[in-house]
Chains A and B, each alone.
Chain A
Amino acid sequence: MKVLIADDEPLARQVLRELLEECPGVTVVGEAASGPEVLRQVERLAPDVVLLDIQMPQTDGLAVARRLRPQPLPMVIYVTAYEQHAVTAFETDAVDYLLKPVRPERLQAAIDRARARLEVLGATRQTAAEPPQRIAARLGEEIHLLDTGDVILFRAAEGGVEIVATSGRYRALHPLREIERRFPPPQFRRIHRAVLVNTAHLRSIAPLSSRRYLLRLTGGIEAVVSKRMASVIREAAQW
């Protein structure tokens, strides 16, 4: 795991470097002494984790973390002298929040948490990269190979699963449960017991009442979903 140390005090950086030497599987890839330098080093070194001092000149640690945040990496572990920012810090999705002087076992625990999160991230990426490029679909007696991106939704119906695609309607060769496994989130999301949508084809979300939302998909296809599901879909579509 690659770690960047960010603190404006040389001794504070040295302490963290020493403590990290005792953490197996951790490589310190660089150091930064100011907010802008953190951002440059992140660009250059692509660390997995930044140990980020909150009080730094120019751009403070919290502002740096906000600038990093749309991307999942690097993860942020805050290191600060006094606990007054903890709440704000967790809004930026920090892995942990350490107080100076940092106790070795406390740093190790934070590193362990980061590693666990990194593994989850890695696994998600792998499955996200996995959905097949094409899917076989039946149209009458013919078998068509559809591009996954052209599928708007899968719908379980009597006699099998219907595939609604930009090029028309087809029958799937597999049950919905199996399809869902092969076409996982975030691209595909189950919005009902019987419907799996391709979020890439989401066109709009409109409130119907306080609890329900209307999703509009490519081709004028509509579906009513719960408020909770609408937010999941919105998130999947990275709005």
Chain B
Amino acid sequence: LQARIHPHFLFNALNALYGAIPRSAGQARRAVLHLAEIFRYLLRAGEDLIPLGRELEIVGAYLEIEALRLGERLSWTVDVPPEALPTPIPMLSLQPLVENAVRHGVARVERPGDVRIAARIEGGVCRIEVSDTGPGLGDEARPQGVGLDNVRRRLALHFGPGARLELRRQGDRTVAAFAVPLTASAPAAAPGEKVQ
């Protein structure tokens, strides 16, 4: 991304856009902030590990923007205990799963859909799960896609073949899950910007 767009241009433009939106249009202004947050994250993205909590912030920003498009059709819950937040995960390993759940699960059906993001610490690993109420895996219109291949590759790179990405149908939900060890050390947040 950095090779194709100058970050200064991008963020100054988003800032000007923010200023050009009337103050009363709070939702639109917040969407600009979320977009900026996502772009900033993508510009940093390498093969690094990052705390689960940090990636969840980006997932939150992404879901807020999708909610602008999908309105009441999209709802989501995040069920992650505080002790799981520092768990190091490969950057952009959770977000593509959530993006898949929205694009192929919720956005493709007319009725309201739900995305659930959950994490549990058990047996020395952190198990992370994204599920949606969409039509499921059997649908050939739901390709496994470059996104998932990427996630698989990153998990294998950092944690070996043990950290496998599983896809399955469970009741009326489509589930994508992986588990990572608790012990790897994650880099600290970027200097300057601490997103609460």
Contact = CB atoms under 8 A, between A and B. Distances in A.
Interface stretch (A6-14, A39-47, A191-199): A6-14
Contacts of B16: 9, 11-12
Interface stretch (A67-75, A94-102, A128-136, A173-181): A94-102
B7 A101 contact: no
Interface in B7-25: 7-8, 10-12, 14-16, 18-20, 23
B183 interface: no
Given A82-B7, A101-B18, A9 B12 contact: yes
A15 B191 contact: no
A103 interface: yes
Residue from the set A89, A101, A105 with the largest chain B CB neighbour count within 10 Å: A101
B8 to A, nearest CB: 5
Contact of A15 (B10, B15, B36): B15
A84 B87 CA distance: 27
Interface residues of B, number: 21
B38 interface: no
Contacts of A106: 193
A55 B19 CA distance: 18
Given A15-B15, A81-B11, A81-B12, A101 B20 contact: no
Contact of B192 (A11, A14, A83, A103): A83
Contacts of B190: 83
B40 interface: yes
Contacts of A98: 192-193
Interface string A99-124: 11111011000000000000000000
B23 A18 contact: yes
Interface residues of A, number: 22
A97 B192 contact: yes
Nearest to A16: B19
B148 interface: no
B77 interface: no
B32 interface: yes
Interface in A183-215: none
Nearest to A105: B196
A11 B196 contact: no
B33 interface: yes
B191 A87 contact: yes
Contacts of A14: 19
A105 B33 CA distance: 12
A11 B19 contact: yes
B192 A12 contact: no
Q: 3 closest Cβ contacts across the A-B interface? A: A11-B19, A81-B11, A100-B15
17 contacts: A9-B16, A11-B15, A11-B20, A12-B15, A14-B19, A82-B11, A83-B40, A83-B190, A86-B191, A97-B192, A98-B192, A98-B193, A99-B193, A100-B11, A101-B11, A101-B33, A102-B15
Interface of A: 9, 11-12, 14-15, 18, 55, 81-83, 86-87, 89, 97-103, 105-106
